[in-house]
Chains A and B, each alone.
Chain A
Amino acid sequence: MIRSRCEVLSVKRTGVYHSLTLVAPDIADRARPGQFVEVAMPGGRTFMLNRPFSIHQASRRGGFAGTLEVVFDVVGPGTEWLAEVEQHQQLDVIGPLGRSFQYPKGLRSCLLVGGGYGAAPLHFLAEELRAHDKDVSMIIGARSHERVFKPIESKRLATSLAITTEDGSLGERGRVTDVLPQMIARNHAEVVYACGPNPMLRAVAELCAGFKIPCQVAVEEMMACGLGVCWTCAVPLLSADGGSWWNVRACVEGPVFNGARVWWEQWLGPKPVEPVPVDAEDTDAGEAGPDAPGGAERTSAEGGEPEAPRQSAPRRDVAEASR
Chain B
Amino acid sequence: MRTSGFDPFDDDVLGPAPGGNGATRADGPESAGAEGAERDADPDRREGARTEEPVEPVEPVEPTLGVDLNGVRFPTPVIAASGCFNSGREMAELVDLSRLGGIVTKSVTLAPTKGLPTPRMAETDSGMLNAIGLQNPGVEEFLAKDGGFIARAPVPVVVSVAGRSIDEYLQVATLVRNLPNVVAIEANISCPNVERRNLVFACYPDLAAEVIGAVSRLTAIPVFAKLTADTTSIVEVAEACVRAGAHGLSLINTVLGMAIDVDSARPKLGAVTGGLSGPAIRPIAVRCIWQVSRALPGVPILGIGGVTRPRDAVELMMAGAWAVQVGTANFFDPSATATIADGVLEFLRDRGLASPAELRDLVQAPRELAAVAADRW
A binds B: yes
Residues of A bordering B, CB below 8 Å: 1, 3, 30, 32, 40-41, 46-50, 94, 96, 99-100, 102, 104-105, 107, 191, 209, 212, 214, 216, 221-225, 227-235, 237-243, 245-248, 252-253, 257-258, 260-261, 263, 265-267, 307-309, 319-320, 322-323
Docked-complex contact A260 and B120, CB < 8 angstroms: no
Give the residues in chain B near A41, CB-CB below 8 Å. Answer: 332
Does any Cβ of A come within 8 Å of B55's Cβ? no
Minimal Cβ-Cβ distance residue in A for B86:
A229
Minimal Cβ-Cβ distance residue in A for B331:
A225
Does any Cβ of A come within 8 Å of B263's Cβ? yes
Docked-complex contact A221 and B118, CB < 8 angstroms: yes
Docked-complex contact A230 and B6, CB < 8 angstroms: no
Instruction: Say whether, besides A102-B20, A225-B330, A322-B119, A260 and B7 are in contact (CB < 8 Å).
Output: yes
Partner of A99, one of B14, B18, B94, B120: B18
Docked-complex contact A1 and B11, CB < 8 angstroms: no
Supply 6 further A-B pairs (C-beta < 8 A) apart from A102-B11, A212-B4, A322-B122. Answer: A3-B334, A102-B20, A214-B9, A222-B119, A232-B132, A233-B121
Minimal Cβ-Cβ distance residue in A for B136:
A231
Does any Cβ of A come within 8 Å of B354's Cβ? no
Partner of B330, one of A212, A229, A309: A229
Within 8 A of A (CB), among B50-95: 83-86, 90-91, 93-94
- Interchain CA distance A307-B135 in the complex, whole Å: 29
Instruction: Say whether, besides A49-B331, A227-B91, A258 and B10 are in contact (CB < 8 Å).
Output: yes
Partner of B94, one of A1, A107, A221, A257: A1
Leading 6 A-B pairs by shortest Cβ distance: A242-B3, A232-B121, A225-B331, A228-B90, A232-B120, A319-B123
Docked-complex contact B132 and A222, CB < 8 angstroms: no
Give the residues in chain A near B332, CB-CB below 8 Å. Answer: 40-41, 48-50, 225
Docked-complex contact B8 and A104, CB < 8 angstroms: yes
Residues of B bordering A, CB below 8 Å: 1-4, 6-14, 18, 20-23, 83-86, 90-91, 93-94, 106, 112, 114-115, 117-123, 125-126, 128, 130, 132, 135, 261, 263-264, 266, 268, 278-279, 308, 328, 330-334
Give the residues in chain B near A221, CB-CB below 8 Å. Answer: 118-119
Question: How many pairs, one residue from A and one from B, have CB atoms within 8 Å of each other in the complex?
Answer: 179
Give the residues in chain A near B125, CB-CB below 8 Å. Answer: 46-47
Give the residues in chain B near A209, CB-CB below 8 Å. Answer: 2, 4
Give the residues in chain A near B11, CB-CB below 8 Å. Answer: 99, 102, 257-258, 261
- Interchain CA distance A149-B23 in the complex, whole Å: 30
The listed residue with most B CB atoms (<10 A of its CB), out of A102, A214, A222, is: A222
Can you list 26 A-B pairs with a CB-CB distance of less than 8 A?
Answer: A1-B93, A46-B125, A48-B123, A48-B128, A48-B278, A48-B279, A49-B123, A99-B21, A214-B6, A221-B119, A224-B128, A224-B328, A228-B86, A229-B91, A230-B121, A230-B130, A231-B132, A232-B120, A234-B115, A234-B118, A234-B135, A245-B1, A246-B112, A252-B90, A258-B10, A309-B263
